[in-house]
Chains A and B, each alone.
Chain A
Amino acid sequence: MFGENAKSVSESDVVFSSRIRLARNFKNYPFPFRMNEKQCREVIEKVKDTVFSTSYAAADSFRFYDISSMDPIERQAMVEKHLISPDLAAMQTLSGVIISKDENISIMINEEDHLRIQCLYRGMQLDRAWENCKRIDSMLEEKIDFAYDNSFGYLTCCPTNVGTGMRASVMLHLPALVMTGYIKGILDACSKLNVAVRGIYGEKSDASGNMFQISNQVTLGLTEEEIISSITNISSQIIQQERTLRSELYRQNSYRFEDRVFRSYGLISNARILSSEEAMKLLSDVRLGVDMGIIKDVDIDTLDEIMDITQPANLQKITGKALSAGERDIKRAEIIRDRLRHRPNT
């Protein structure tokens, strides 16, 4: 889904993805929630003009989507793929998004701020994500006057984002820390370090499938590089602990460990009804088995794809019609069986 395979990126046994998001606003327009329809439209057009008519070499690799004209399932499908935020999907007013063909870069228009520039890569690649955000930011800056203040930095609708306007986050898969209960200590430590911990779909979501997103809370008074290095440092400590626990758990009782992993593999490859929650739980076990080299005939890319396409909205998009929860659970099980049977490397 991120256009490169998992084995080629660093720390991908624990780090699912890395993301940088920049909040930017036009100087000459009120922030989105205080704009009228005409202003909303103008902002969208100006951003489109800048991206598509610029001398910017890669302009043709971007595509614009009008969020306002999309139905709720299409919007939710984009949220599930992490291309847009839940807040953008919920917008009642005119809004849109420009997404790169490889789906690594998205520029959300008229969310809480006029612009939210997001770069997402798999594995530990915050630096790369920042380089790309910076490039897009500078490209937009050539044509658009951003709201900026010498002291407060980039001005944002919510004062929690002023300054750099940057949120750096990594998504970590932490099954061993959860199994042993040590995760609680990690969460406590993070809150003391001003680092936010959230579930897989960002704010207000649960940590389903043992996936945790950690991100900076402070955006002002630090350089972007400092923010990135603090998130990188904290994650690398968590990664280290997760790895140690994984091998310790395996060493202590390898039969039990393998049993758990293979049971989940057996279940997920054969079940006829799978709720989203159960699928995420089983996928987490199978992912752990693959990362530890216990399960050898599935690759992480297949698991990533399964995780994406079996979320409720994407499932309905693939099927091409609205499904009830019960129908979804059957369809989900069917797709997973199918994907696991047609593994690329068997």
Chain B
Amino acid sequence: MLCQLCQKRVATVHFTQIINNNRVEMYLCEKCANEKGNMNFISPLSLGDFLSGFFSTDIGDSYIATPDVNTRCEVCGMSFNDFQSTGKIGCNNCYKIFGDRLKPIIKRLHGNVEHIGKAPSGFSDSMIKTTKEIEKLKEELNRAIQAEEYEKAALLRDKIKELESRSSGQ
């Protein structure tokens, strides 16, 4: 997109001005924006800043110095602060060590903290998973019946039957 003022350079600045209570928004190149605003621009929000804002735990505990603020993962050396500033988790073990603090963040991202999809074959709590899946399918079945989608409902019914017979056979 070209600068809306000079129409020559690429617009890199989103310029917002409030004039007589009216909000005026323009996309400008840095040069025009500087001339127009006659001010120094705060550099665009860096990805790190954005993530740390997003991944910060609730205000409550970020201001209270928690005793384990210096805890580091013994496997990869990551601290929870490192995660907050990069948005990246270091290893398998970090999820165990920082699990309690990651939980609310993951909940915020996904609205959920219980995995119900595919699991490695060694993980044999598939019973619980099957039960959860049956519950979900039953909900879907109800919705399908309400929406009078009988073909879909029949498919769902068969799937539930199959899962139920499988879990009782275990």
* Chain A positions near chain B (C-beta within 8 angstroms): 25-31, 33-34, 112, 134, 137-138, 141, 145-160, 162-164, 166, 218-224, 226
Contacts and interface: CB of A to CB of B under 8 A. Distances in A.
A223 B118 CA distance: 7
Most A CB atoms within 10 A — which of B90, B120, B121?
B120
Interface stretch (B11-19, B24-32, B60-68, B75-83): B75-83
Most A CB atoms within 10 A — which of B110, B113, B136?
B110
A242 to B, nearest CB: 23
B109 A159 contact: yes
A31 B112 contact: no
B89 A152 contact: no
A159 B89 contact: yes
A30 B91 contact: yes
B117 A152 contact: no
29 contacts: A30-B90, A31-B88, A31-B91, A33-B88, A34-B77, A138-B121, A141-B120, A141-B121, A145-B120, A147-B91, A149-B99, A150-B123, A151-B114, A152-B102, A152-B106, A155-B95, A156-B89, A157-B89, A159-B106, A162-B110, A166-B117, A218-B109, A218-B110, A220-B106, A220-B112, A220-B115, A222-B117, A223-B116, A224-B118
Contact of A223 (B77, B87, B109, B133): B133
A30 B94 CA distance: 9
Interface residues of B, number: 34
A137 B114 CA distance: 21
A40 to B, nearest CB: 14
Contact of A218 (B76, B112, B119): B112
A26 B75 CA distance: 13
B111 interface: yes
B43 interface: no
Most B CB atoms within 10 A — which of A151, A159, A218?
A159
B97 interface: no
Nearest to B118: A224
B114 A221 contact: yes
Interface in B98-137: 99, 102, 105-106, 109-121, 123, 125, 133, 136
Contacts of B95: 147, 149, 152, 155
B117 A224 contact: yes
Given A138-B121, A148-B120, A34 B112 contact: no
B92 interface: yes
